Amino acid sequence: MKQSVDNSRRDFLAKTAIAGTITIASGVLLHQTANAKSLNETSTRNPHTPVSNINRWGLLIDTNKCGKSCSACVDACNTENGLAGRTGPQDTQYIRKVTLRDKSTGHELSLPLMCQHCESAPCVDVCPVNASFIRADGIALVDRHLCIGCRYCMMACPYKARSFVHEELHNQKTSDPRGIGTVEACNMCVTRVDAGKIPACVEACSADNHKAMMFGDLNDPESGISVELKKHGGKQIRADLALNTGVHYQGLNE
Amino acid sequence: MSKIEYTSLQGKSPAYFVLLGVLGLFTFTGILAAWYMEHNGHHVTGMTNQIVWGTPHIFAIFLIVAASGALNVASIASVFSKKIYEPMARLSALLAIALLAGGLVVLLLDLGRPDRLIVAMTHYNFTSVFAWNIILYSGFFTFCGLYLWTMMDHNVHQYKKYAGFSAFVWRLILTTGTGSIFGFLVARSAYETAIMAPMFVIMSFSYGLAIFILVLMATYKASQMELGDVVILRLRNLLGVFVAAVLYFTFVYHLTNIYDADRRDFERFILLDGGIYTTVFWIGDIIIGGLIPLLLIYLPSIKKNRTVLGWICGMIILGGLSQVYVIVIGGQAFPLEIFPGYDVSSSFYDGIVNSYTPSLPEILLGSSGIAITLLIVVFMLKVLRFMPNSLADNVIDPHYSVK
Ligand code: SF4
């Protein structure tokens, strides 16, 4: 009897120990995963905390790493947002590949160009109905329920980042509801960001092994993007306009 | 000046109804075109993501600018107390209101979502020049309306001067506002310059007066009332001054651009190698809209020739449309400088001159603005008394003898 009690106690202890180890180990594991995510810095806001100006989302693009003939980011963007990917003069393009040739040296480079998510955005300044706005976390958006389609923002944008929907749309993505007669642009994949994911273009660029695009929080000095900007610097396009863009580039002439 | 009696158009002749009918038809086609554009989306227009403002905007901006200038005659009468212009003040204010209405209807119907007018009225962004303009337009209607009221109703006659003054000040602000729509576009080489606003004011003087003279001559001829040389010669001289001023401002605008290294390429484009824009600039804006009218205005031998004056006004209007075309379309056709120091190319037409061919619906919509304006004028002339019985020389100035 005693033996059996002892046995059962031993059994119990052993089982508890195993269970405990598993629990602790998995806890540690989870913890490590979480840590790795924040170090990797492609992480986003916790989906359960509200949008606030604690974050300022931005992109850093290294033109040296950007593949000249690669269009992974453009394709990913089209798929993510349900864009047809046509390139006629009336077609929407949220992101495009631009080839640059230095006029003095002849040096060629290639980069993706999209809405630069300015802090002092000209589109927001000119929009008569407040349809263009900058979200608290720095993402420039168009409220398609308000936009009257005047296209003043398109005239004002220094990056030609916006498109006007010229035609009736079909098969839209729920993540990016669009509307005929209104203006649209890169929204930094706001639904993905809100779900704790990174923008589709950045993901595609990494998946393609170029790693030319980086997404992160410019307000957080520890974030990968901030650390990289601090270490190697970065340039804003048309910095002379002092718009404080959320998108930065490396490898461009001063 | 003898006491001026005002009259309205009889408006019973078949010609009157034919005119109303034709204008109505043009207006209707314009609205139909707008419906077609809205129904199918802007892909049935020549406008693109590169040329985002097209023909409707040329007409709309031209009419809005001209509206403020049409008020000139009234302003000179009330603000500067020039008696000779006073009898024409009512017509001047009416035309101003009608032009603004015509321009705004076009602007509105071209919106991607014209059905959201209520949104435009209820959501205000006070940093937007566009939103200021909405206030400016409403104010212009109000002030011109009040001004007309004080002119037409003897009970409130004593306020005429104040109303006239407010309308005058308001219309200067209005045109400055219209010019600023462009002046505030920081990124575009063509537009971001302070001279844009005063240039628009002076353009408004010229276009508005040209349209006013045409309307005045046409109505008096059609209703067989007397319109003497005193009035006509005065207006003609004034027009000469305005045309010269527009030429001068155009010159200064381009000169300042040439001095600015960043804008030199744009200037080269407009003045030398911009194809259609260069042609329209030199032939339409400068020669037809400026030099020929100026020459004809100051040619003594045809001083009193009304037909020539009609042609002059027509040329100024054509020149005005050309000028707005070059500013609006030429300014967008020139590639936006996103990466200074680089040659660029992309699938989004970066770095190249954008092309624009207007489609029929947008031309119909744009030009219907003129029809709407004239429809309002022709209709109102019948309803209320806007026209002095006679503008004969002895009525205007008994001491005047035409040499
Ligand atoms: S097109 Fe829409 S978002 Fe752009 S300025 Fe007009 S109302 Fe605002």
> Cβ of B358 under 8 Å from any chain A Cβ?
no
Answer whether residue A50 shows pLDDT above 90: no
Confidence grade of residue B257 (pLDDT, cut at 50, 70, 90): confident
Report the CATH number that the domain containing residue A157 is assigned in CATH: 3.30.70.20
> ipTM of this model?
0.89
Is the distance from CB of A241 to CB of A80 less than 8 angstroms? no
- pLDDT: which is higher, B136 or A74: A74
Confidence grade of residue A21 (pLDDT, cut at 50, 70, 90): very low
Of B50, B131, B341, the CB nearest to A253: B341
Domain around A207: 2-250
DSSP assignments along B84-144, one per residue: GGGGGHHHHHHHHHHHHHHHHHHHHHTSS-GGGHHHHHH---TT-HHHHHHHHHHHHHHHH
Alpha carbon distance B50, B52 (integer Å): 6
Tally Cβ neighbours within 10 Å of residue B265: 13
Alpha carbon distance B116, A147 (integer Å): 8
Give A149 Cα–ligand 1 centroid separation in angstroms: 5
Sort out which chain B residues have CB atoms less than 8 A from A100's CB and list them: 339, 342-344
Alpha carbon distance A12, B244 (integer Å): 104
Is the distance from CB of A138 to CB of A246 less than 8 angstroms? yes
Is the distance from CB of B351 to CB of B344 less than 8 angstroms? yes
State whether A180 and B112 contact (CB < 8 Å).
Answer: yes
Is 1.20.1630.10 the CATH classification of the domain at B6-385?
yes
Answer whether residue B246 shows pLDDT above 50: yes
Residues whose beta carbon lies within 6 Å of some atom of ligand 1: A 126-127, 129, 131-132, 142, 147-153, 183
B60-113 tens-digit pLDDT = 999 999 998 999 888 888 888 888 888 899 999 999 999 999 999 999 999 999
| A contact test, residue of B36, B189, B347, B357 with most A CBs within 10 A | B347
Question: Which stretches of chain A are assigned E, i.e. beta strand?
Answer: 57-62, 95-102, 108-114, 132-134, 140-142, 163-164, 183-184, 213-217, 247-250
Residue-level length of chain B: 403
State whether A165 and B41 contact (CB < 8 Å).
Answer: yes
Q: What is the pLDDT of residue B400?
A: 57
Q: What is the pLDDT of residue A37?
A: 38
Answer whether residue B252 shows pLDDT above 60: yes
Question: From the CA of A147, how many Å to the nearest CA of chain B?
Answer: 8
What is the percentage of chain B residues whose pLDDT exceeds 90? 59
Alpha carbon distance B171, B82 (integer Å): 19
State the total domains in chain A.
1
Answer whether residue A25 shows pLDDT above 90: no
Alpha carbon distance B106, B370 (integer Å): 10
Q: What average pLDDT does this structure show over A120-141?
A: 94
Question: From the CA of A236, how many Å to the nearest CA of chain B?
Answer: 11
Answer whether residue A39 shows pLDDT above 90: no
At position B133, the amino acid (one-letter code) is: N
Residue of B nearest to A236 (CA): B339
Comparing C-alpha atoms, which of B354, B356, B340, B248 is closest to residue B294?
A: B248
Q: What is the pLDDT of residue B358?
A: 95
